[in-house]
């Protein structure tokens, strides 16, 4: 399926495509995170331990981001 064909799908059809892709990725034997991801996680962990990073509840974060529009 081409990008142009994807654009022609209804929202319901696009959601189904996303669902199929997500399921396919979830079944992958090994999804390897890039090296930079481990570096960023370690840096974030350091900021949290130092009290320089705020942990957010997922719903709280979504509300905050939506309020900034």
**How far apart (Å, rounded) are the C-alpha atoms in residues 68 and 53?**
20
Residue 43 near residue 52 (C-beta atoms within 8 A): no
pLDDT computed for residue 24 by the predictor: 84
Return all residues near 19 (Cβ < 8 A) that are at least 6 apart. Answer: none
As a whole number, mean pLDDT of residues 4-9 equals: 94
Q: Which residue has the tokens 């390897």?
A: 32
- Evaluate if residue 56 carries a pLDDT over 70: yes
Classify residue 53 by its DSSP letter: S
**How far apart (Å, rounded) are the C-alpha atoms in residues 31 and 36?**
15
- Evaluate if residue 28 carries a pLDDT over 70: no
Share of the chain above pLDDT 70, in %: 97
pTM assigned to the model: 0.48
As a whole number, mean pLDDT of residues 12-36 equals: 87
């Amino acid at each position: 399926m081409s990008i142009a064909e994807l654009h022609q799908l209804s929202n319901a059809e696009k959601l189904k495509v996303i669902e199929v892709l997500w399921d396919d990725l979830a079944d992958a034997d090994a999804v390897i995170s890039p090296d930079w991801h481990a570096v960023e996680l370690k840096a974030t962990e350091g900021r949290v331990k130092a009290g320089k990073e705020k942990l957010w509840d997922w719903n709280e974060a979504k509300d905050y981001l939506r309020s900034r529009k």
